[in-house]
Structure 1
Amino acid sequence: MDDESTRPLMTDSNSPPPRRSLDDTIERYIGSFGWAQFLQASLVSFSGVFDAQQTFISVFTDFEPTWHCTESDSFCHQSVSNICILPKSAWSWDFSPHVSVISEWGLQCAGSFVKGLPESSFFVGCLIGGVILSTLADSSLGRKNMLFLSCLVMSISTMLTVFSPNIWVYAFLRFVNGFGRATIGTCALVLSTELVGKKWRGQVGIMSFFGFMLGFLSLPLIAYVNRGNSWRILYVWTSIPTVIYCVLVRFFVCESPRWLFVRGRRQEAISILKRVASIPLTDVNNGGAAISMSFSSLQIEEEEEEEEEYEKPSVNSYTAMKKLVEKRWAFKRLSAIMAVAFGIGLVYYGMPLALSNLDFNVYLSASFNALMDLPANLITLFLVDKLSRRNALIGFTALGGVSSVLIFALQNMRIGNHGGLQLALELISYFSACSAFNMEMIYTIELFPTCVRNSAIAMARQALVLGGVFSPIMVAAGRKNGFWSFGLFGLAIGLLGLFVVGLPETKGSDLCDTMDEEECKDRKNNNSVIA
């Protein structure tokens, strides 16, 4: 039987087959996408559920509850909007004070810094955690162990948050929570896409975004069921499933075979590739034998490469970051990607927070925004093989920028009520930011080789989170003047999106494993363009 997987073994001895890349090995020997790979990618991508819940949980735990007057006198009436000018005996919360950290700890008259401290601490933790932990996934720990460790730290800190006695301990635990979850999205995206060939890389990459969307959608539902109860219960409901997920990752998720090959652990990589091989059940024995022979020949080729000059991976955790900075082409790509990510982050994190400036129900607004992830993910899923990475990113950022600026313009119109139109534009802007983020992550995967890929994606996500650090401040300033929120959001994402103009197009390209491979491919592409 002329099996495609056995053809390389039947070539003439005087004409050795061309050297195969990891992409070729995956495509030719285990198939582009099988059930084992699908289950692995699904389990890894499910981490996005818990990531999203902790990212947006403060919307429902740190809000300022509604209140009502308890006395019929001149001190309290419907026209009074500032609770701080009233005596405490003149008003009361509509629900139990325990529904929010603001009401439980009497922070309704505290400054904006104290009220926003837990959320700001979370994003600062994300920034610091991303810098410290991101390169460990490329160096010593690997993708799987880093994913497990991140989820474990996030789940433990979430559970401990339940016992917070004051705002300061609460803010510290939110910092630890953000520190732990900083690399979850990066590891999940890289690990899932490195298990498949280039044909399905984009679709598998979108799976992690669907996981994040599911978590964002589930949070308003959990919060609505929990309305009127203590905010601490919301942390309990989101921590226990995360602990269970950590156990599943530890025992059922495979390490990235690409990373194992780059680290020199070829036997482990070959073993994992055999486990996820898409062999027909009717021909397991023959298929398994063919794969074993094929990977044996691959191992011989790799051992022969060791005798030649080859880019050896270093055990230093920050070697990957050093390579990204030292290589001019890599630094140029990283800088452009981070600039675009910062603009996207302002809109992605700022728009849900800025809904309070448009006076909409918090449960409905959060649900509508979460639903925007669905069309964004579907469009990216079905069009990822047809869309130019560069042009699509420019288009989505431009659409988000125009929509956001139009919201500011409508706020300054004194004629008519434009609340519904403003919400529609807000959803369009958020949808554009989601789509741009999806496309940028796929683009980043293809722009950088395996040895630094996780670090590059981590830095892009760090820039995204940095936008999240600034967006609450801009939203607060935008309550008096919409230019400082919606106006700046639109200008930032629209103008920063143009930074990708000078980057190479990567649609349909092979993934490289070393910096030398990527540099060689870049030179060939430049020469072909000149020719």
Structure 2
Amino acid sequence: MWKHSPPKCSEAEAERLCMDEMLKKYCGEFGWWQLRHFVLTSMAWALEAFHTMVVIFADREPAWRCVSGGCAEAASICGMEDGTWEWVEGPGSSTVAEFGLVCGDKYKVGLVQALFFAGCMIGAGIFGHLSDSKLGRKGSLVVVCILNAIFGCLTALSPTYPVYVAFRLLTGVSTGGVGLCAFVLATEPVGATKRGAAGMSTFYFFSGGIAALSGIAYAFRSWRALYIATSIPSILFLVFVLPFVSESPRWHLIRGEVGPAMQTMHAIARSNDGDLPTTALLALDEEVSGHSPRSTSAKREAVNGSLVDVLRCPLTRARLFLAVAVNFFCSVVYYGLSLNVVNLGTNLYLNVFLNAVAEMPAFFLTAVLLDRFGRKPLSIGTQWFSGAFCLLGGMIKGYGVWKMVRMVCGILGIFGMAGTYNLLFIYTVELFPTVVRNAALGCATQAAQMGAILAPFVVVMGERVPFLVFGACGVAGGMLAFLLPETLNQPLYDTMAGMEEGEGGRALLS
């Protein structure tokens, strides 16, 4: 009977390959399948931009006008009697107008954003762990999009300021998992030589989302309508995009689910006009090395990992501490300079749009140089570029033309740090094995959120001091990046053991 049903190859006949090798040899490192998957998955970054930056418009202080001649000379509404002035666009134009967040209560506007980023920090840790374990990358992305849609719509119904703060905090928790899940899911099926450029391109979707948000906010001037309008895209993404996104084969592999992983690899090969033989079989890097043999059946024992495993291993522990510190310093500079640029006193909608567009050349330039100079030199160079211009801006005194020079220094500082912020995602992903990748990235993202929380407090320190602080952070981040290893064209390891063996071999050869 077996003449009509050829026997399956035995384990001895199977060609065991780690995923990077299989992509390079048979499937294609970045073909049509990866392009479609990358674009669909990275669209989630626009959703994160909506939920993060919506407060620029929802919490803005709108224009006001006098309703009696007695306040014609007043420069501020503070101290003015009720009934002598009114909001030009009405009390429903922003939370500031509706909840009275002015004068002595103005700090509450910053408090909302700080608590949102605190929620992001919590969410990054939670969903970083869940995406490495039970939910997977795609499952976690589904959950955070559902929560974002729910909390975003509920925010629009907030009757009071405390309720508004609570829903923004909850939205932050769900938003904290969007970017890291989307990034890892988009880049894990990409081959080693193409992963850097692909990873750097994800931030175009974030900046594009900010640019689109300025148009949405221009169309929906009520803050309640704006929150609804920026939450609906999460529902559309769930219904029309995510069904066409595949779970990461790397996650299936470390979970011991070789069958689903191989199905995805065969789909990649077919779509890319590759030829994946039936004798080829995905294996963990430690299995390919032969140091830790496992069963090559279609269902292996799952390989689990957590942040505890990262801290337990000296190699990954040092990398984690450095990645956390660099991400923190980078975030302080990026968000701090962004706040300074937004508050230029020009048209708010146009200003936000131009700021988003201005970041894109930095993403493009960094992506072009990434595979030529490597992650480490580029990380150092972009941070020092930003730090140098920030320090120069902090040393400039005077007004008039010198104030314009300081503004240019800030723009160049943002240009450099935008490239770093983009680069750090792909760099952090490559520093850790699949089994703990999202947990480590979640930890680094939490550090970035801490920097985002701190940034507004630095901005209020005056005109020159913030530039000096941002400059010091840029220089310090670049110095810490010196201690990180280069990951250019290196494999994405699957397990802790595989990474230790691979890094040990590299150390012996160097």
Q: Shared fold by TM > 0.5?
A: yes
Q: Who is 2:339 aligned against?
A: 353
Q: Distance in 2 between matches of 1:92 and 1:17?
A: 77
Q: Structure 2: how far apart are the matches of 1:34 and 1:68?
A: 58
Cα distance in 2 for partners of 1:419, 1:115 equals 27
Q: Distance in 2 between matches of 1:43 and 1:280?
A: 17
State yes or no: 1:494 paired with 2:482.
no
Q: CA RMSD in A?
A: 2.5
How far residue 258 of structure 1 moved from its aligned partner, in angstroms, is 0.9
**Matches of residues 332-481 of structure 1 in structure 2 within 5 Å?**
332-355=318-341, 358-410=344-396, 412-414=397-399, 416-475=400-459, 477-478=460-461, 481=462
Please say if residues 65 and 85 of structure 2, whose CA atoms lie closer than 8 Å, have aligned partners that are also in contact: yes
SS of 1:163's equivalent in the other structure is coil
SS at match of 2:269: coil
Instruction: Find out whether 1:306 has 2:327 as its counterpart.
Output: no
Counterpart pick for 1:45 among 31, 42, 47: 42
Bigger RCO (CA 8 Å, 6+ sep): 2
Q: Give the whole-Å Cα distance in 2 for the aligned partners of 1:111 and 1:96.
A: 19
Deviation at 1:381, TM superposition (A): 2.5
Secondary structure of the corresponding residue to residue 276 of structure 2: helix
Q: Is residue 234 of structure 2 the alignment partner of residue 253 of structure 1?
A: no
Give the Cα separation in 2 of the matches to 1:355 and 1:88.
33
Corresponding residue for residue 205 of structure 2: 211
Q: 1:40 deviation in Å?
A: 0.9
Deviations 1:404-440 (A, max 9, x none): 2333333x324x3444333322221112111001211
1:196 is matched by which residue type in structure 2?
A: V
Partner of 1:122: 116
* 1:170 Cα deviation after fit: 0.8
* Structure 2 match to 1:84: 78
Q: How much does 1:256 deviate? A: 0.5
CA offsets, 1:161-220, max 9 Å, x none? Answer: 111111111111111111001111111111111112112111221232111111011111
State how far apart, in whole Å, the 1-side matches of 2:226 and 2:282 are.
54
1:92 alignment partner, SS class: strand
Shift, 1:246, TM fit: 1.3
Query: Structure 2: how far apart are the matches of 1:133 and 1:33?
Result: 27
Which of 472, 487, 490 does residue 509 from structure 1 map onto? 490
Alignment-derived partner of residue 25 in structure 1: 22
Alignment TM-score, normalising by the size of structure 2: 0.90
In structure 2, the CA distance between the partners of 1:449 and 1:142, relative to structure 1 (3 Å rule), is: same
1:119 partner letter:
Q
Looking at structure 2, the residues matched to 275 and 65 of structure 1 have their Cα atoms a distance apart, in angstroms, of 53
Asked if the contact 1:122/1:175 (under 8 Å) is kept, the reply is yes
Shift of 1:356: 5.6
Partner of 1:54: 51
1:284 corresponds in structure 2 to none
Please point out which of 130, 134, 145 is paired with 1:151.
145
CA distance in 2, matches of 1:40, 1:406: 43
Check 1:280–1:378 CA distance in 2 against 1; reply closer, same or farther (3 A cut).
closer
SS at match of 2:65: strand
Identity score, percent: 32
Is residue 527 of structure 1 aligned with residue 508 of structure 2?
yes
CA–CA separation in structure 1 for the residues paired with 2:309 and 2:251? 17
Instruction: Tell me which residue corresponds to 1:3.
Output: none
Cα deviations across residues 302-356 of structure 1 (Å, max 9, x unaligned)?
A: 8993159xx96555xxx42011111111111111111111111112222222236
Contact 1:148 1:249 in 2 (8 A): no
Distance change in 2, residues 1:347/1:368 (3 Å): farther
Q: How far, CA to CA, are the matches of 1:467 and 1:298 in structure 2? A: 39
Aligned mates of 2:282, 2:185 — CA distance in 1: 25
Classify 1:231/1:375 alpha carbon distance in 2 versus 1 (closer, same or farther; 3 Å): same
On the 8 A contact 1:107/1:115 being kept in 2, the answer is yes
CA contact (8 A) 2:366 2:423 kept: yes
Where in structure 2 are the equivalents of 1:222-233 lying within 5 Å? 222-226=216-220, 229-233=221-225
Partner secondary structure for residue 164 of structure 1: coil
Corresponding residue pairs, total: 493
Q: Which residue identity does 1:291 align to in structure 2? A: L
Give the residue type in structure 2 aligned to 1:219.
L
TM-score, normalising length from structure 1? Answer: 0.87
Amino acid at match of 2:135: L
Gaps (5+ residues) in structure 1? 1-8, 282-286
Task: Rate the CA distance shift 1:183–1:91 in 2: closer, same or farther, 3 A.
Answer: same
**How much does 1:484 deviate?**
4.2
- Provide closer, same or farther for how the CA distance between residues 341 and 294 of structure 1 changes in structure 2, counting only shifts above 3 A: same
In structure 2, C-alpha distance between the alignment counterparts of 1:172 and 1:353, rounded to whole Å: 23
CA distance, structure 1, for counterparts of residue 328 and residue 176 of structure 2: 16
Describe the shift of the 1:298–1:307 C-alpha distance in structure 2 as closer, same or farther (beyond 3 A): closer
1:155/1:240 contact within 8 Å kept = yes
| Counterpart-to-counterpart distance in 1, 2:431 and 2:185 | 16
CA pair 322-248 structure 1, distance change in 2 beyond 3 A: farther
CA contact (8 A) 2:31 2:272 kept: no
- Structure 1 residues 103 and 389: alpha-carbon distance in aligned structure 2, compared to 1, 3 A threshold: same
Counterparts of 1:162-181 in structure 2, within 5 Å, are 162-181=156-175
Contact 1:69 1:90 in 2 (8 A): yes
Counterparts in 2 of 1:422 and 1:367: CA distance versus 1, 3 Å: farther
Secondary structure of the residue aligned to 2:371 is coil
Among 274, 287, 291, the alignment partner of 2:276 is 291
Deviation at 1:373, TM superposition (A): 2.3
